[in-house]
Amino acid sequence: MQTMIATRRLILRPFKSSDAQAAFEWFGDPVVMRFTPTGPDKSVEETITRLAGYQDHQKAHGFSKWLIRERDSGIAIGDSGLLVLPECGWVDLGFRFAQPYWGKGLATEVAFAWVRAAFDEFRVGQLGAFVHLKNIASIRVLEKVGFHAERRDMVMGMDSIVFFLDTAGRKELH
């Protein structure tokens, strides 16, 4: 079972309970979390609960949302990964970064890595993603890796664009 993904600039690994304080930096940031249906975590305790859910998902499925660290510094800068969303009927790709790491192409880098892992390692047949209508940056990332917008829908109470990608539509990072 894969427990680490390395890209040119990043290292991804499953969350540990000890990551909660670092992760609260972005999970507790209202700007980072403005397009997330649950909104920001109000305390480190909420982040601890969130990470415990990711750890349970990891045990059940072999993947989940993982911590993103800068390869050179080792600093925790965000989270990304795959979640089974039974209420939606798909495996969802998501990514989120602390504000100082926006606009550097890191979301695209991590999205390509997860698409590769989803199809090649975890044998997922199709990926889905949902994005708030105003989250232009995330829409662009999904399009760059080959996702196509299928419909507009309410997902987890949020007016969203729903995207899908199968192995035939995937692109490679150049």
Does the pLDDT value for residue 174 go beyond 60?
no
**pTM for the full model?**
0.94
Does the pLDDT value for residue 42 go beyond 90?
yes
**Which ranges of 37-105 does DSSP label H, i.e. alpha helix?**
44-61
Q: Rounded CA gap, 54 and 66, in Å?
A: 8
Report the mean per-residue pLDDT for the chain: 95
- Convert the pLDDT of each residue in 136-164 to its tens digit: 999 999 999 999 999 999 999 999 999 99
Measured CA angle at 28 (ends 22, 34), to 5 deg:
130
Select the CATH number that applies to the domain covering 5-169 from these four: 3.40.50.450, 2.60.40.1180, 3.40.630.30, 3.40.50.150.
3.40.630.30
Mean pLDDT of 46-75: 97
Does the pLDDT value for residue 1 go beyond 90?
no
Mean pLDDT of 36-61: 97
Structure tokens at 56: 């349970």
Q: Rounded CA gap, 135 and 81, in Å?
A: 18
